[in-house]
Amino acid sequence: MPPDTGGKIRSYNILRELARQHSVTFFSFYAAHDGDLHPDLKSIFDRIVCLPLDLPAPKSPAEMLAYGLRLFSSQPYGITKYCRPVVRRELRSLLSRRAMPSSSVTLQLLRA
Amino acid sequence: MIPWDSPIPKVLFTHNVEAAIWRRHYEVATNLIWKAISLREWRKMESAERRYLRLADQVLTVSETDRDAFAAFVDPAKLTVIPTGVDVDYFHPMPTEEAENSLGIHGLDGLTSQRRCDPLLCRRHPSTHQTEVPRRISRGRRPKPRDSPPSSRFHRHFFLDQRHRSPQGLAYPPGLDGESWASFYFDNFFSAFNEKDQGDLLTDGFHDEIVGHSAYRNVLAYWESVAKLVPVARELT
């Protein structure tokens, strides 16, 4: 949020339309930023779980260091930078706590 | 991170063929370090994409092109195309007929990673739906002379028609990709024609005011500003 790029606009509108007829739990992880609008999604979805992550700024020395630390990972950096224990923990906790009814929809997004 | 062994059905929503993007970065990179990084990310992403798409119960793609790319290694039965919707109240046919060989401003969002292009002035051919754009447009505020192409070196490329309801459809909206938007300067438009002096004249007072923002709400106002420049550009050419 805000939906200001093609992928975000598309995802936002598809999820919003799905939520009209289904129970949708919105789970998202993304680079923390000022004026985070994700809490506004409460009005659209049944439940939201938002995890702002402390990611290094793009192309900054901190990101170069983060890239270097993951250099020998078999996973691409675009995925590993989001692979934080807190995300894994929260997702598994959500799935274990909540018996997903058949009408629920879970979307797994590779790109936040 | 994703519990793939969970019995909950998993839908993987793809927005791109990510590996193809990295392959394009690799193909056009001139900096050796960036080329090496791009090669490595391309290979890793290709492997990851194949793995996760195979693990997913259903895969959504945004186009037939992406579906065909994934069908090479994923069961086509679980690939579903959902084309991106268009707000037809906002995007609609122009009220007037387009002029042949007129100049337009085109967002080269789809080409950014392939050809180091930014949105720029280009010549378009409405009858054939082809648009000619100069080659090798550099990014940044002060493009190097070697990156400013002779106006005779045009390259043809097909674009989806994204006409905005600006006067006679001469201004085209770019994609809303944050990366290319941020590096979008008017200097680049006009240096593309090797008309640096005219470029300075035309961009005076504009570039610092209206570039660099990616918020959706600014797009309409932004392109209205761009549209005002187009008649001037037509006179110069």
Tens digits of per-residue pLDDT, B205-219? Answer: 222 222 322 333 344
Query: Average pLDDT, whole number, for chain A?
Result: 81
User: Which amino acid would we find at residue B9?
Assistant: P
pLDDT at position B84 is: 76
Of all residues in chain A, the one with the smallest CA distance to B16 is: A7
Q: B3 and chain A: CB distance < 8 Å anywhere?
A: yes
Tens digits of per-residue pLDDT, B95-123? Answer: 555 544 444 444 433 333 333 333 444 44
Pairing mode, if any, of strands B11-13 and A107-108?
A: parallel
User: Which amino acid would we find at residue B12?
Assistant: L
Report if residue A25 sits inside a domain: yes
Q: Provide the domain limits for residue A48.
A: 6-97
Nearest to A107 among B13, B37, B216 (CB): B13
Is A76's CB within 8 Å of B44's CB?
Answer: yes
Query: Contact B5/A101 with Cβ under 8 angstroms?
Result: no
CA distances from A28 to A35, A107, B13, B121, B226 (A): 16, 10, 14, 38, 35
Report if residue A106 sits inside a domain: no
Report if residue A59 sits inside a domain: yes
Q: B153 and chain A: CB distance < 8 Å anywhere?
A: no
Residue B151 φ then ψ, to 5°: -65, -15
Sign, Cα dihedral of A35, A39, A44, A50 = positive
Nearest to B120 by CA among B67, B128, B131, B22: B131
Per-residue pLDDT in tens (0 to 9) along chain A, 112 residues: 777 667 788 888 888 888 999 998 999 998 888 888 888 899 999 999 999 999 998 888 999 999 988 888 889 998 899 888 899 898 888 888 765 544 344 444 434 3
Nearest to B15 among A83, A105, A111 (CB): A111
Nearest to B177 among A5, A87, A88 (CB): A5
Three-state secondary-structure class, residue B39: helix
Report if residue A17 sits inside a domain: yes
Nearest to A6 among B44, B48, B175 (CB): B175
Instruction: Please count the structural domains in chain A.
Output: 1
* B197 pLDDT above the threshold of 80: no
Verdict on whether the full-model pTM lies above 0.95:
no
Strand order in the sheet with B130-134: B103-106, B120-125, B130-134, B154-158
Is A2's CB within 8 Å of B15's CB?
Answer: no
Q: B37 and chain A: CB distance < 8 Å anywhere?
A: yes
* B10 pLDDT above the threshold of 50: yes
Of all residues in chain A, the one with the smallest CA distance to B214 is: A4
Q: A74 and chain B: CB distance < 8 Å anywhere?
A: yes
Nearest to B138 by CA among B129, B147, B130: B147
Q: Which residue(s) pair with B25 in the sheet?
A: none
Tell me the chain A residues in contact with residue B14 when contact means C-beta distances shorter than 8 Å.
110
